[in-house]
Structure 1
Amino acid sequence: MSTAPRTIDRRRLLTGSAAVAAGIAAAAVAEPASAEPTTSALQSTIDPTSGASLRTTAQYAQYDGPAFVDTYATNITENQTAESNAAVRILSGFQDVWQTGPEWNNGTVVDEDLLEDNMAYSADLTGARTLAEAKQAFIFDRQHQSYSAIGGLGPLEALYKTGAKAVTAITSAPDGIPAGKISDSVPPGAPAGSANGAGATDSELGKVALLVNTVRGNFTSSNPSKFAYLYPRPYRMNEDSEVAETGGIPVLGIPAYDSKVLVAPQLLRQRSDIPAEDGGFPSGHANAAWLAAFALAYAVPERFQELLTRASDVAHSRIMAGMHSVVDVVGGRILGTALAAAVLHNPATAQIKADGREQALAYFTAATGVSADGLHAYAHREGPDTDLYADREANRERYRERLTYFLERSGSDAAMIVPKGAEVLLETRLPYLDAEQRREVLATTALKSGYPILNGPEQWGRLDYFTAADGYARFNADVAVAMDAAQGGFSAADTWRNDIGGSGKITKTGTGSLTLTGDNSFSGGVLVQEGTLRAASANALGKGGVTVTGGTLAVDADQLELRAYAQSNAALQVVLNAEGEPALEVANKVTLGSGAVLKIALDPQRPPVAGVSLPLAEAEEIVGTFAEVVLDLPGYTATLEYSKKRIEVRIDAA
């Protein structure tokens, strides 16, 4: 076996306490131990002569068996095969990397390079770990994961803890090895009725706590999969193991790994002393963190991306702690994502999830004094000095990197077939889209195929919900967006931040406002019929023509580049500044029909000089005129000057 792993930049990910600072809490109520498996759990899927999986990653994309969301109740300890347990099945991409043996320490390594990198990554991370990072890993380990998820709420965090009566006994970590095992609980002196985890079900946010508890309820344990795969935790594969069971003896039937993984001293007494019942894949803490985060994100979608980043941080801390490896936390994410979708997709949960969202919205709007339309802004009003997740781009970067870590793609790309029910996790974040549209969002934002482990049946590991929260990444067909501002929240106003490609067309209807900010290249065109469509970048409206027959097209960028532009019985809203660039740069024709209104605002930072003409639009040809011009500056008038290829605006004192 090669001892030199491929070169990987293992420290590039945001891993320290700066990323998950003080006040972060992780839920760490251990999942109950179940009976040790007595036979190799996955023998029926392994070729007994070669040890190779009978399936290949190329076949996973064509999986047509029973949907996970319909069969997740098979996830019980008694079921430990891919055929009998839906959770074991969706994780079976791991069989292309590792094959289970009859005992905990004699499985077969299928992909040596990947599993060596897996150990090397853990060794590098734990070897460079600071005391602060070790303490944070302890807090994440010992706190209840549902309590930990609350830390993603930012400015709403303290309000949530008060309303839910959510408390924890784990508020700090020792400098070294504690005297014994430590568990979370309700601390002495906590308010009457308090509960750890997501809070008390009879509190002001009791329905939200119930939703979190339900998502983390029956059939959501990682234990059956741990027993099925029997992949050891990284510290049990050290050359000089700290664990007495190995005594330095090579595990897995191969020479011991040179990479030494160091468990955080604070967690040395928290380890199980029964390795056969304590597998690493998938991580139970990671699974629980994702379950709790998705549940809270459903109830409080105003912090959707931040809550998912929080789950990513908690999961990553398992590697920092030395308790798990990359493949373990990747498996935990896949399992937690699928289980959260399955529970929320279950008709029996319909009222619970609706009540949780309704109660959260009512509670936070009352507690903050803002409307539903203003809650998103309130939930993002603090900077990184007080909100650990205020930097959206930093969140996105580490979230995206941790979807794959060092895993490398192979083979050609295969289309993403979104697993049944996956769209439910976007119901409150994209409420104005229907289920099929949410599925298309997930399909267009998913990771490429070919990553090991992620490429299992139904491909839950390819889903990228952080990116999906920012709307489509492609218009593969025409898209109609109907937003009802009366429903408030994201239905009143939302922003799609992805770069959107494809050949489709977008039609905007309804009274709400949609903002596009990406460097978009979709070619099917834009039709605005109602409400407001805001263009916040030069290429926000893609490479096709733009037609506005109702509502308002608002140009928030300094200049909007278009192929063609037509407007009638609608408004164009622009902001003029002293830079002298036309608000509309149109390659072909501008057509202004009856009822075309121009609304002008002046840039307060760069106001134009009175009496000076500024370009409004440039095109190959301009036909027609605006029927009305509205200027938002009292005491001044706006005069339009038309030529064959140019429209200019002169601002004068009245």
Structure 2
Amino acid sequence: MTSAYCLKHCLKRLPLALMISAALTLMACGGGSNTVATDTVVVEGPLVIPAPPADPGTVDSAPVPAGVPAFVDNVASNQRGDARYATLETNAGVRVLSGFLAIWQPLTLIVDAGVTAPAVDNFPAVVTSKWTGVPNDGTPDGTILNRAVHDANINYVASLTGKRTPEQELAAYLDDRRGKGYSVTDGLGPLTAAWRSAAQQTTSITAIPADAGTVLYNDSGNNTGVGGTANTSFGNAVDLLSLIGNNGSTEPAKRFYKYARPYRWSSQVIVAPSLVPAKSTTPATDGGFTSGHSAEATRDVIAMAYMVPERFQELLSRGLELGENRIMAGMHSPLDVMSGRIQAQAVAAANLYDAANAAKKTAAYAQAHATLITQTNTTADSFNAYAHSATATTDRFADYASNKVNYLRRMTYGFAPIAATNVAPVVPKGAEVLLETRLPYLSDAQRRVVLKTTAMASGYPVMDDAEGWGRLNLFAAADGYGSFVGNVIVNMDATKGGFNIMDIWRNDINGSGKLSKLGSGTLKLAGNNSWTGGTQIDAGTIEANSATAFGNGDVYSGASVVVNTAGNLSITGKYTQLASGALEINLRSAQSQMQVGSTVTIAGGSLRIRFQNGYKPSVGDTLTVINAGSLKGKFTSITVDGYTATPTYTATSLQLKLTA
């Protein structure tokens, strides 16, 4: 008896669910595979299980830029007062900001503003520059190479400071005078008080003092808190905040680029009155490019986001807000604070990437979570929800949409591109470490691709460094891939906790690749997606949180699919559910449904209908829950919360009539 004869005649005696299992088993016995890959499986009569979306056969990558000295390998060269590191070619902290040379040519291309250094090896001695720090005073200065960008840079500050409110002056004052490590902790929202208590952070600055016009008011607090063994429950976390700034000085760049502060360029820039005493009296050593406050704030929030990735985007938003407050104060220009972000990202990555710090960052992450969970009376399972439990009344960063808009605005400050906008992004060596705790279920190689597919367009002032630090959009990267190329395999092991249990990708994902879901965790897709290679769910759950969550391809499920959209879910290709699959549709109105442009094939499995947002249908209502180009097969079981239901399968839809 042939396998074909057995398959044809023996299956007639089996129920539908067993037909599929038996068919696959017989194929396996004949030397085939019980995993459908490229061929369809004919079960009985008209029911045909389509093949899953085609395997692209490739995997996207983001190789380290060739021929470019890696910042993470050369961070220790970010020094001043050493002739070996006095040039663009020899100082990594200067080189990462070299895009500024398209706008401004400093008087000398040496780290020499207020600096001397003896000759060493084959490097000549550094002689103090003649730059005075005061533009247009009749002494040697530098050369403006892009007048439009320079003027826009200074005029931006003049415009902002000219309409500054008292509340904005207070924010600018606090972020100027207070320790940056203390300031940015309010990016933790509901976790702020717990963090400050655990870190034993203090500040002496809570308001603008009455004598601010005559007295320079400095913070006598401890900035990041108490570290080391003196703080047994949180010292490791505080230590990481200190470690993240190693070799992070902005002074080498300031002394190389020799670009004046905005109030020295224009009398239209109004320094906050409360900060006038803080103005330096030595402009020759007080360049504006790059902003030290902005860089320190960015380093601090990256360290905190590494330890508490549940507040990753909120913390990054707070760091860039502090940078904007430097503009509001009149102390820095947009290009100053943009460059601070760029340099800080590179420095933070270098310290997190350093193998010597591996145990320290692991200990800091573990300690931060253990202590904050205890302080907030939460559990590992409820901690993330608690971290986002506040409203805008008590958490300035509670609104995701506002955070996203402001982050993008603060990345470019409205500057138009000054170079080609279509240069392919590159990802610096080691940059993937910045996403290590935020996307723990991805590999380092995958995190690099995330950074590549979410990077900013090329061409913006200052941002086009050769390694790619300037174009990194860490806010977008925290929302997952921006594009699928080739196979994208996501394996989320829920037993590992945290984001391995559940995560949400909110980017608008394009591309021709295929998404495959493995592991027991849940991945939520919430973007306006358009990728075409399809989706295969082999384990765990994919939850559709937007109408176009699955892009423009087929959906093939042997595990769990949850439809949780405000309106209809649109699947433009085919939807196939195997006997092992489970479909859950959350309805918010009688019009909500899953709409499939092509064929729905149901080889068994379960369907569950739930109701949300106060929607409660009446007994006797008939709901159309699936609408398709064609519908074949049936679910093994159907559950409707709060009702019993009678299903009606038509050639193109599934309808459920509700009874008590």
Common fold: TM-score over 0.5: yes
SS in 1 for 2:382: helix
Q: Which residue of structure 1 lines up, in the alignment, with residue 168 of structure 2?
A: 133
Q: CA deviation at 1:213?
A: 0.5
* Aligned CA distance change for structure 1 residues 132 and 552 (closer, same or farther; 3 Å): closer
Q: Which residue of structure 2 lines up, in the alignment, with residue 222 of structure 1?
A: 250
Amino acid at match of 2:105: Q
Q: Which residue of structure 1 lines up, in the alignment, with residue 283 of structure 2?
A: 275
Q: Which residue of structure 1 lines up, in the alignment, with residue 14 of structure 2?
A: none
SS in 2 for 1:624: strand
Once the two structures are superposed, what CA deviation does each residue of 1:129-172 show, in whole Å capped at 9, x if it has no partner?
12332222121111111111211111000011111101111111
Matched, 1:491 2:518: no
Q: Is the 8 A contact 1:282 1:331 kept in 2?
A: yes
Q: How does 1:637-652 map to 2 (within 5 A)?
A: 637-652=644-659
The total of aligned residue pairs comes to: 560
SS in 2 for 1:460: coil
Q: Which residue of structure 1 lines up, in the alignment, with residue 260 of structure 2?
A: 232
Instruction: Give the one of 298, 302, 305 matched to 2:306.
Output: 298
Q: CA deviation at 1:88?
A: 0.5
In 2: Cα distance, 1:290 partner to 1:402 partner: 13
Provide TM-score, normalisation by structure 2: 0.83
In 1: Cα distance, 2:343 partner to 2:253 partner: 9
Once the two structures are superposed, what CA deviation does each residue of 1:313-368 show, in whole Å capped at 9, x if it has no partner?
11111111111111111111111111111111111111111111101111122222
Q: Is the 8 A contact 2:227 2:237 kept in 1?
A: no
* Aligned CA distance change for structure 1 residues 557 and 394 (closer, same or farther; 3 Å): closer
Amino acid at match of 2:655: E
Matched, 1:369 2:370: no
Q: Which residue of structure 2 lines up, in the alignment, with residue 207 of structure 1?
A: 236
Once the two structures are superposed, what CA deviation does each residue of 1:540-587 show, in whole Å capped at 9, x if it has no partner?
011000000123444444321111100011100012455234x22111
Instruction: Give the one of 599, 616, 623 matched to 1:589.
Output: 599
Matched, 1:89 2:89: no
SS in 1 for 2:624: strand
Q: Is the 8 A contact 1:528 1:553 kept in 2?
A: no
Amino acid at match of 2:290: P
Q: Which residue of structure 1 lines up, in the alignment, with residue 397 of structure 2?
A: 389
Q: CA deviation at 1:296?
A: 0.5
Amino acid at match of 1:64: G
Q: Which residue of structure 1 lines up, in the alignment, with residue 115 of structure 2?
A: none
Q: Which residue of structure 2 lines up, in the alignment, with residue 48 of structure 1?
A: none
Q: Is the 8 A contact 2:65 2:428 kept in 1?
A: no
In 2: Cα distance, 1:63 partner to 1:448 partner: 20
Instruction: Give the one of 448, 452, 467 matched to 1:439.
Output: 448
SS in 2 for 1:586: strand
Instruction: Give the one of 58, 77, 81 matched to 1:74.
Output: 77
Instruction: Give the one of 223, 228, 232 matched to 1:196.
Output: 223
Instruction: Give the one of 587, 591, 610 matched to 1:580.
Output: 591
Q: How does 1:431-510 map to 2 (within 5 A)?
A: 431-510=440-519
Q: CA deviation at 1:310?
A: 0.6
In 2: Cα distance, 1:75 partner to 1:517 partner: 41
Q: CA deviation at 1:599?
A: 1.4
Matched, 1:309 2:336: no
Q: Is the 8 A contact 1:94 1:453 kept in 2?
A: yes
Instruction: Give the one of 201, 205, 209 matched to 1:170.
Output: 205
* Aligned CA distance change for structure 1 residues 175 and 326 (closer, same or farther; 3 Å): farther
SS in 1 for 2:634: coil
Once the two structures are superposed, what CA deviation does each residue of 1:450-503 show, in whole Å capped at 9, x if it has no partner?
112101221211111111111111112221111111111111011111111111
SS in 1 for 2:332: coil
SS in 2 for 1:608: coil
Q: How does 1:417-432 map to 2 (within 5 A)?
A: 417-432=426-441
SS in 2 for 1:73: helix
* Aligned CA distance change for structure 1 residues 576 and 272 (closer, same or farther; 3 Å): closer
In 2: Cα distance, 1:604 partner to 1:287 partner: 44
In 2: Cα distance, 1:482 partner to 1:175 partner: 58
In 1: Cα distance, 2:391 partner to 2:272 partner: 31
In 2: Cα distance, 1:200 partner to 1:148 partner: 18
* Aligned CA distance change for structure 1 residues 270 and 603 (closer, same or farther; 3 Å): closer
* Aligned CA distance change for structure 1 residues 450 and 360 (closer, same or farther; 3 Å): same
Q: Which residue of structure 1 lines up, in the alignment, with residue 113 of structure 2?
A: none
Q: Is the 8 A contact 2:421 2:457 kept in 1?
A: no
Amino acid at match of 1:234: P
Instruction: Give the one of 271, 274, 291 matched to 1:263.
Output: 271
In 2: Cα distance, 1:159 partner to 1:224 partner: 36
Q: Which residue of structure 2 lines up, in the alignment, with residue 192 of structure 1?
A: none
In 2: Cα distance, 1:62 partner to 1:625 partner: 52
* Aligned CA distance change for structure 1 residues 332 and 597 (closer, same or farther; 3 Å): same
Q: Is the 8 A contact 1:553 1:573 kept in 2?
A: yes
SS in 1 for 2:287: coil
Q: Is the 8 A contact 2:535 2:556 kept in 1?
A: yes
Q: Is the 8 A contact 1:573 1:600 kept in 2?
A: yes
In 1: Cα distance, 2:451 partner to 2:536 partner: 23
In 2: Cα distance, 1:412 partner to 1:305 partner: 26
Instruction: Give the one of 184, 188, 198 matched to 1:149.
Output: 184
In 2: Cα distance, 1:425 partner to 1:552 partner: 30
Unaligned 5+ segments in structure 2 are: 1-63, 109-129, 134-140
SS in 1 for 2:583: strand
SS in 2 for 1:588: strand
* Aligned CA distance change for structure 1 residues 75 and 492 (closer, same or farther; 3 Å): same
Q: CA deviation at 1:214?
A: 0.3
Q: Is the 8 A contact 1:175 1:266 kept in 2?
A: no
SS in 1 for 2:348: helix
In 1: Cα distance, 2:620 partner to 2:547 partner: 27
Matched, 1:524 2:551: no
Q: Is the 8 A contact 1:94 1:456 kept in 2?
A: no
More displaced stretch, 605-614 vs 505-514: 605-614
* Aligned CA distance change for structure 1 residues 577 and 85 (closer, same or farther; 3 Å): closer
Matched, 1:330 2:344: no
* Aligned CA distance change for structure 1 residues 176 and 414 (closer, same or farther; 3 Å): farther
SS in 1 for 2:467: helix
Q: Is the 8 A contact 2:505 2:526 kept in 1?
A: yes
Amino acid at match of 1:85: N
In 2: Cα distance, 1:279 partner to 1:577 partner: 57
Over the aligned positions, Cα root-mean-square deviation in angstroms equals: 1.6
Q: Which residue of structure 2 lines up, in the alignment, with residue 567 of structure 1?
A: 577
- Ranges of 4+ aligned residues in structure 1 off by more than 3 Å: 175-178, 198-201, 551-558
Matched, 1:352 2:360: yes
Once the two structures are superposed, what CA deviation does each residue of 1:360-415 show, in whole Å capped at 9, x if it has no partner?
11112222222223212101111111111111111111111010013211324111
Q: How does 1:526-545 map to 2 (within 5 A)?
A: 526-545=535-554
Q: Is the 8 A contact 1:571 1:596 kept in 2?
A: yes
Q: Is the 8 A contact 1:98 1:107 kept in 2?
A: yes
Q: Is the 8 A contact 1:212 1:295 kept in 2?
A: yes
